[in-house]
Amino acid sequence: MTMDMHPGADRLAALVRGVPDDALGRGTPCSEYTVGDLLDHVSGFAVGIAAAGRKDVDGMKAPSPGRATDLGEGWRTRIPAELLALASTWDDPAAYEGTTGGPLDMPAEIAAVVGIEELCIHGWDLARALGEPFAVTTAELDVLERFFSLFGPDERGSAYDPPVKSSTTDLLARAIALSGRDPGWRP
């Protein structure tokens, strides 16, 4: 089964291109990241998950800890290009076969699920920090539900805060709450 990463990659790329310099130090709903830190993390996951889809063990790296100081020059064009490459890699049905290999070896299909989760959750983080609207497709919502059903609260590791209690019927807001973020977060 293939998944279309283009909607999430395109949305996030548009947000990245629109980040003003004075926003890099702003907080985000992802409590440990400023906007600049989040952008560095987005770059790292885009490169890493694209490499996983190509089974390019040499191209895989551990997820970036997210440091604005590592953004470098030209990030407004580089990161969108990395996001497009990520989405294009997973257009190939062979990307979903076998395991990814590398430092975070997992079934390739799960790596694709992680890719969509990262595009959606961190896209929402960036949109909120910038005060921009954000929406996802029904297919992406299905993937988010699948992702968060893969592990229980004790299996979340350090990547997510505990789920936030939410009584909303909005499916994106529920996924955001499951990620440990407050769906009502505002800058």
C-alpha distance across the termini of the chain, in Å: 38
pLDDT digits (tens, 9 = 90+) for 80-123: 999 999 999 999 999 999 988 777 788 999 999 999 999 999 99
Residue 100 has a pLDDT of 84
Rg of the chain over CA atoms, in angstroms? 15
Alpha helices by DSSP H, listed for 73-137, are 75-89, 108-130
- Averaged pLDDT score across all residues of the chain: 91
Cα gap 71→176, rounded to integer Å:
26
User: Tokens representing 7?
Assistant: 């909607």
Model confidence at 75: pLDDT above 70:
yes
6-136 is a CATH 1.20.120.450 domain? yes
Q: What's residue 153's pLDDT?
A: 64
The model carries a pTM of: 0.93
pLDDT digits (tens, 9 = 90+) for 43-72: 999 999 999 999 988 777 666 678 999 999
Residue 14: both structure tokens together: 């548009």
